[in-house]
Amino acid sequence: MSISGYRLNDPSLPPSPFTLEMLDELKASLLFGPDDEAALRRALPIVSSQVEAILDVWYGFVGGNPHLLKYFSDNNGKPVGAYLDAVRARFGQWILDTCRVEYDAAWLAYQDEIGRRHHWTGKNTVDGHATVSHIPMRHVLALVIPISVTMRPFLTKTGASAEDVDAMHAAWVKSCLLQLTLWSHPYVQDGAF
Amino acid sequence: MSISGYRLNDPSLPPSPFTLEMLDELKASLLFGPDDEAALRRALPIVSSQVEAILDVWYGFVGGNPHLLKYFSDNNGKPVGAYLDAVRARFGQWILDTCRVEYDAAWLAYQDEIGRRHHWTGKNTVDGHATVSHIPMRHVLALVIPISVTMRPFLTKTGASAEDVDAMHAAWVKSCLLQLTLWSHPYVQDGAF
C-alpha cells in the first residue's frame, strides 16, 4: 500500500543544498558512527513489529499536550482527524527508515522536504488539510526527547541484552537529533544553518 | 574571581522575547519536569568537583574535530588560545548553572545572549578575539550529544546508584537540548522559532 505524501527516493524532489560531506561532519559532531548504524539495523526487526504501538504512545503524548495538539488542528482548535491519520502513516514509515540507515543524497532531499512540511512554506501542501500553518521550530527540536524516551521499552521487548538495548537506544537518540536538526533547515536565516 | 563575559543575572541584558509561559510549554514538549530539576540539583555536588576534568574531555573532543576547532580559530585556521580559555571559563560556570536549575527570566535573557555569541550577530563581540565569525546552527545543536554522552562517567564517580545516575543523566540530556534549542533562536527567521 502506498503512503500518501511519502517521498523518500522520489527523484522529482529538489536536491538538498546539504552535501554528503556536510552530513559526514554533522555525524561527527554528534558522534554518530558505524557502530550506531549497525545498532539501528539490529533494532529494525525489533521495532518493525511494534510500529503501531509506538505510534499509539507518541499520539497519546501529543494528544495530552494541547500546545502540541493544536498543530494537528484547524484554526478553531479542532483536531483534524484526516491530517492526524495521514501524518501517522508517514511517521510509521519514518521509524523503519530511521532503522534502515540509508542516509544518502535522496534521504537528505527528503529531510529537507519533511522540514518544509513543518514550516509555513510547506505545511498543509501535502495532504491539503486546513491545519495551523506552522509548527514552531522549538517544538520540533524538543520532540527528540519524547520520541527517544518512549522508545526504550519497545527495544527491550524481544530479549536483547541490556548492553545492546543501550547501544540501540543511544543510536536512536543520535539519529533523531540528526534528523530533527536537518528538519530545522527551512526555519533558519540564509547562511546561518 | 569574576568570569569575563559571564552575564547571568546581569540586569543590563535585553530581556528575552521568550516568556516563562513559553518556557513551560517547551519544558512540557521535552518532558522536563520537577523530577528532572531535582535530579540536576542532586548532580550539582557531584559535578562541581569535576568541572575541569569534564572540560578537558569536551575540549579534547573539539580539538580532535577540525571542522569544530575551526570555530575557535582565526580565519587562517589557527586556534586562538585566549578565546578557547575565555570560553572555557564560561563553559565551566555553565555546567554549574545547568545543575542549579534557576531557569527564570534572567536565565532566558542570558540564553538569548549565549545564542547570539554563536551567531554572526554576536560572535567575537564579548572577548574581542578575531575568530571565525559564525558557528553554524547545526553544529551547535549537535553538541547535545557529546556533552551528554561524556557526562555519564562523571555522574557515576561518587557512588550514586545506577538508577540515580540514569535519572541525573536523563535530566542533563533534556536540559542540554532545552538550552541549545534556546541558543538557536537568533538563527531563525522572524516568527519561525
Q: Is the pLDDT of residue B41 over 80?
A: yes
pLDDT in tens, A105-126: 999 999 999 999 999 999 999 9
Distances (CA, A) of B133 to B36, B66, B136: 35, 16, 10
Distances (CA, A) of B181 to A178, B38, B177, B189: 14, 21, 6, 14
pLDDT in tens, B85-141: 999 999 999 999 999 999 999 999 999 999 999 999 999 999 889 999 999 999 999
* Residue in B32, B67, B142 nearest the CB of A177: B142
Q: For position B94, what pLDDT does the model report?
A: 98
C-alpha–C-alpha distance, residues A35 and A168, integer Å? 9
* Residue in B30, B137, B181 nearest the CB of A188: B137
**Count of Cβ atoms closer than 10 Å to residue B190 Cβ:** 6
> Nearest Cα to B79, choosing from B51, B94, B93, B59?
B59
Query: What is the average pLDDT score of chain A?
Result: 97
Cell of B40: 540536576
Contact yes or no for B29 and A137 at CB 8 A: no
Q: Is the pLDDT of residue A1 over 80?
A: no
pLDDT in tens, A43-86: 999 999 999 999 999 999 999 999 999 999 999 999 999 999 99
Q: For position B1, what pLDDT does the model report?
A: 66
- pLDDT category at B26 given cuts 50, 70, 90 is very high
In the predicted model, what is the mean pLDDT of residues A82-102?
97
Q: For position B21, what pLDDT does the model report?
A: 97
| pTM score | 0.97
> Nearest Cα to A150, choosing from A181, A179, A178, A173?
A173
Residues of B with CB under 8 A from a CB of A: 25-26, 28-32, 65, 67-68, 119-120, 134, 136-139, 141-146, 149, 170, 173-174, 177-178, 181-182, 184-185, 187-189, 191-193
Would you mind telling me the total number of residues written for chain B in this entry? 193
